[in-house]
Chains A and B, each alone.
Chain A
Amino acid sequence: MRRRFKIAMGMRLAMPAAALFAVALFFAGSRFDRPVRASESDAVDYASPIEVLLSSDGARLYVLCQDSEEVRVLDAASYAVIKRIAVGRVPRGFALSPDGARLFVTNSWGDTLSVIDTRTLSVSATWTVGWEPSSVVVDRAGKHLFVANRIGNDVAVLNATTGAEEKRLAAGRGASYLTISPDGSRIYATHIYPNPPRVRTELDNRTAPESEITVIDAARAVVVDRIPLHAIAGVFHLAFSSDGRLGAVAEYHPKNLVPLAHLEHGGAFAYTLTIFGSDVGQPVEIPLDELERYAARPFGVAIAPDKSRIYVGCGGSEMVTVIDVPRLMSFLHARPHAQSVSYAWDLSASGNYVIARIPVGRDPRGVALSRDGRRLFVANRLDDTISVIDTRTNRVALTIELAGPKTLSVLRKGEQAFYTARYSFQGQIGCATCHIDSTFDGLTWDLEPDGFGRDIVDNKMLEGVKGTEPYKWNGGNPNIPTECGPRTEKYFWRSEQYDDLTLTDLSTYIRGLEPRPNRWKLPGREMTPAQERGLALFARGTDKFGKQIPEANRCSYCHSGPKGTNQKLFDVGTRKATDNSGMLKSAPLASIALTAPYLHDGSAHTLEEIWTVYNPEDKHGRTNDLTKDELNDLIEYLRTR
């Protein structure tokens, strides 16, 4: 997600110039997708605060800045900067040790953990951890660190003194956020992509997503429970009341089994909290949205010390939603339930318990309450500010500027356009709703342009998308401006159009998304023996019987070039009765290991199934002559792409 903004377009210094530039791009046609020249002098480092944390004595405010890759330490009274501490690549989460002496920071793209000595305010150690560490907590005894690894889909258990990894616990797909219960006995892990379906049904790729809260026994460091989150895809921060009796987790409830044509009727997403704990009995899913006002992309959650309020930072809606807990309890207790229940579809429900929606900055992420509960700090990632909300008045009392660049680059503007929901009807969705952190959502959708119930499509990864046009599975959109402009405005937003400048910003941002580091790749050009064997199979021109494989039936033909696509359309035999055509653009291979499900309609749950289930006639490459070990080798190679 982090992008150093090194780009020749630089700042938008003058509106007329930018407008002219946009017009020029519009008429330039294919020239638009040419690489943009970058130079070091154009580098712009925004802070991009993503999480905030108060020291246990309340004297310091720690701000985790994703793009400047640092922790900024602020005086929590004056908000003056005490220290800027450089950490690793794309930091995503942080936590204090129980005694407050150490601050642990997960560096998500560097696969490291920075250990900061809070007395000296310097990094005392950097430990290598798992794949894309995203969050960290420390047990009360200070014995173990728990680190959620997004790509590893697990929670690593580390010795808190040495950093030595002891084991990994299977978590949800895209494990990302951790919370320790107030009594320290349990650790709760959430994940941003839905889990793979447990049971295959005849509905194949059209089943509701399933997510979970993974519950870990902190003392034994084993998974003891998984709280199911039905029909949820995208789960973020979780918070507890101080008595531990009330838990709340922020999540997305996609409505991807119906055609995405009913934004006017709330037909795309519900943004919800699942409320759980002994105060409510079985978990209850409550919507944050109301008619005409959506709470897009809920992320950070905090519960007031006196359990009177729940605060939810909503990134897409650029506000904090405030829930009155006694009112919520009245709402829930008036509807007794023996099993978990959802009110996600009820747009009148939130009127019973949402008491304020407080506008803050762009893409608000992490939130933190002062110990007395009077101040709520909100990290506005794309504004380089921290909103300080007075919880008695539910108003922003102060906005702390993090001294980022005063001018906005084209990329920054584009990123703001990507993450906001303001362009869609009633502010329901934004690009980042389905492309979580600029990636994907692991879901299949029924989009309107192809007809209701027709052309069910898997949502794709955006990183590395530049140079892989045409876009859409059927290759229907020639370039990113078409994909993100008229198509998106008409079929997704159903509201206002982007102005040319915004579309330019947005397209530039998307084109600049580079793939994250590939964890299956060895350093340099080195490969494991299995990967080497797989590459040979990928590149082969003859099958195992010595027969020449037609060029168009070789892996390396359709998936050629650095992005793994020759950008042409083929029929690989995967057409379903609901598909209008079998002609599909060869899919890019960048980060293919991460982006399950596969095939145009997401019917293959794993890479293996592309060939073991959906390639009976060898139309999707000649593979049926391969043994199982050879197919495994081919997949080992593909994972390095």
Chain B
Amino acid sequence: MKKLLVAALLLFAAALALAAPPQMSRFRFENFTTANGLPDNHVYSVLVEGDRIWAGTDNGLGLYENGKWKTYTTNDGLAHRAVLSLALDKRTGDVWAGTMGGLSRISGGRIDTFTQLNSGLSNDVVYGVSIEGENVWVATAAGGCRLNTRTGQWTLYNERNTPMIEIWVYGVSATPSKVYFAVWGSGLLEYTQDTGKWDKYDDPDNENEIVLFKDQGLIHEIVTSVSFVDNIVWAATYFGASRYDGRYWHNFLTKDSGLPSNFINFIKGVDANRAWFCTDKGLAYYDGVNWAVYRPSLKDGKPEMTVRDAQGNVTPVAVSSAPAHNYVLGIDFQGDDIWVATAKGLSHGVHQKQ
């Protein structure tokens, strides 16, 4: 009898657990706009450097420090007012900014700018930048390139020396072992550092937007962002996202995942299993099993958070704040907090204990 009672209790507990939505991180979002000092509301990129926050906006580079914003402009030497991408050299503390008019290094308050005219940079439109050791890897509108900061040598990667067909490179993720380029219309390029060899990953259906076979390969040729972490590639496209472990692909679409949209501007892997997705319909987080979406409601603009479990059950979670806008362009982490770049402001997601 006693055993039966214990079993019943266990079953009851299990049922309760199954019925409850998964516990996903909650945030209290504090939003920054021009009203409280942000240089511009259109924020393309965000970078956390300890207690300092860098915001790449359409009208200058903002630095949030000690509760105040400082703005760097072209008058300070910034390559262009529109700052599309940001990267931190964790060793030196230098910040690299990819802009619509070149690449800038912000170091101890000094800005050095590299353009296609004054340096070996392949093109002034710099969509992405990533730091690996003494190398700065750059994604531009005319291919990828690498600056060796020690020798000053530029090496360009384009259709002449890589399998790149299109040269519109939207993103780059560099590590000492591998470098990945997200190429708009030309899939994903992989460079192996020790061999100097290139591999190219394409959508098996080519540019067909209908996925014939699930998880057959990269979800689409129009790759907008890539993040390589823990030997896992997270790739974003305008038609879904992909995860690649070196052998198997796993794709994410709205129809079979918690993605709020297949139109993904930016992706950032946390580790091998977890990633953040910046879409045109909100910010999404995937913990390897479950999903959470944070956004202003598409219907009425009210703060919204939804959680999707492994079975596809979607549960709303009551929240009182949301990122500044649904159109999300970038994210970075500050401990358990997140900073989110959107088309209508910068959001600080303060992690809430549950």
Contact = CB atoms under 8 A, between A and B. Distances in A.
Nearest to A604: B118
Interface string A594-619: 00000000000110110011000000
Given A199-B74, A530-B153, A226 B120 contact: no
B105 to A, nearest CB: 7
Given A170-B107, A223-B108, A612-B116, A628 B156 contact: yes
B155 A223 contact: no
Given A222-B93, A608-B117, A609-B118, A198 B76 contact: yes
Nearest to B153: A636
Contact of A632 (B75, B110, B120, B150): B120
Interface in B95-129: 105, 107-113, 116-120, 122-123
A609 B115 CA distance: 10
Contacts of B153: 530, 636
B113 A226 contact: no
A520 B122 contact: no
Question: Which interface residue of A130, A167, A612, A639 has the most chain B CB atoms within 10 A?
Answer: A167
B105 A628 contact: no
B151 interface: yes
B77 interface: yes
Nearest to A197: B77
Contact of B92 (A168, A530, A631, A636): A168
B111 A198 contact: yes
Given A608-B118, A609-B118, A629-B158, A166 B91 contact: yes
Contacts of A636: 153
Interface in B170-214: none
A226 B93 CA distance: 14
Contacts of B155: 530, 632
Contacts of B107: 169-170, 223, 226
B255 interface: no
Contacts of A628: 116, 120, 122-123, 142, 156
A215 interface: yes
Interface in B142-161: 142, 149-156, 158, 160-161
B113 A198 contact: yes
Interface string A509-532: 000000000001000000000100
Interface in A162-213: 166-170, 195-196, 198-199, 212
Interface size class of A (residues with CB under 8 A): 35 or more
Given A199-B75, A225-B108, A530-B153, A605 B118 contact: yes
Contacts of A632: 120, 154-156
Nearest to B76: A198
Contact of A170 (B105, B120, B122): B105
B30 interface: no
A628 B109 CA distance: 30
Nearest to A628: B122
Contacts of B118: 605-606, 608-609, 612
Nearest to B116: A628
Contacts of A520: 151
A403 to B, nearest CB: 41
B156 A629 contact: yes
Nearest to B113: A198
B103 to A, nearest CB: 14
B337 interface: no
A225 B74 contact: no
B134 interface: yes
Contacts of B94: 170, 223
B75 to A, nearest CB: 7
Contacts of B142: 628
A504 interface: no
A629 B160 contact: yes
Nearest to A611: B117
Given A198-B111, A199-B74, A168 B134 contact: yes
Nearest to B104: A198
Contacts of B92: 167-170, 222-223
Interface string A627-640: 11101100110010
Contact of B149 (A168, A214, A631): A168
A224 interface: yes
Nearest to B93: A222
Interface string B57-77: 000000000000000001111
Contacts of B76: 198-199
A528 to B, nearest CB: 8
A159 to B, nearest CB: 14
Contacts of A629: 122, 156, 158, 160-161
A212 B77 CA distance: 15
A225 B110 CA distance: 8
Contacts of A130: 150
Contacts of B77: 198-199
B205 to A, nearest CB: 32
A335 B176 CA distance: 55
Contacts of A167: 91-92, 134
Contacts of B149: 168, 170
A612 B94 CA distance: 28
Interface string A119-135: 00000000000100000
The winner among B93, B105, B108, B156 for most chain A CB atoms within 10 A is B108
B119 A606 contact: yes
A476 to B, nearest CB: 31
Nearest to A593: B152
Nearest to B94: A170
A152 interface: yes
A628 B124 CA distance: 12
A570 B349 CA distance: 64
Indicate the member of B113, B122, B153 with the most A CB atoms within 10 Å.
Answer: B153
Contacts of A212: 110
Contacts of B108: 170, 214-215, 223-226
Contacts of B110: 170, 195, 198, 212, 226
A298 to B, nearest CB: 24
Contacts of B134: 167-168
Interface string A68-89: 0000000000000000000000
Nearest to A199: B77
Contacts of A198: 76-77, 110-113
Nearest to A529: B155
B120 A635 contact: yes
Contacts of B120: 608, 628, 631-632, 635
Contacts of B75: 199
A585 B149 CA distance: 33
A170 B117 contact: no
Contacts of B161: 629
B105 A613 contact: no
Nearest to B158: A629
B95 to A, nearest CB: 11
Nearest to B91: A167
Given A225-B108, A225-B109, A613 B117 contact: yes
Interface string B304-329: 00000000000000000000000000
B119 A608 contact: yes
Interface of A: 130, 152, 166-170, 195-196, 198-199, 212, 214-215, 220, 222-226, 520, 530, 605-606, 608-609, 612-613, 627-629, 631-632, 635-636, 639
24 contacts: A152-B150, A166-B91, A167-B91, A167-B92, A168-B134, A168-B149, A168-B150, A169-B92, A170-B92, A198-B76, A199-B75, A199-B77, A212-B110, A215-B108, A223-B94, A223-B108, A226-B110, A606-B119, A608-B120, A612-B116, A612-B118, A628-B120, A631-B120, A636-B153
5 closest Cβ pairs, A-B complex: A198-B77, A223-B108, A222-B93, A632-B120, A629-B156
Given A224-B108, A629-B122, 16 more contacts: A166-B91, A167-B91, A170-B108, A198-B110, A198-B111, A198-B112, A215-B108, A220-B93, A223-B108, A226-B108, A520-B151, A530-B155, A606-B118, A608-B119, A632-B120, A632-B155
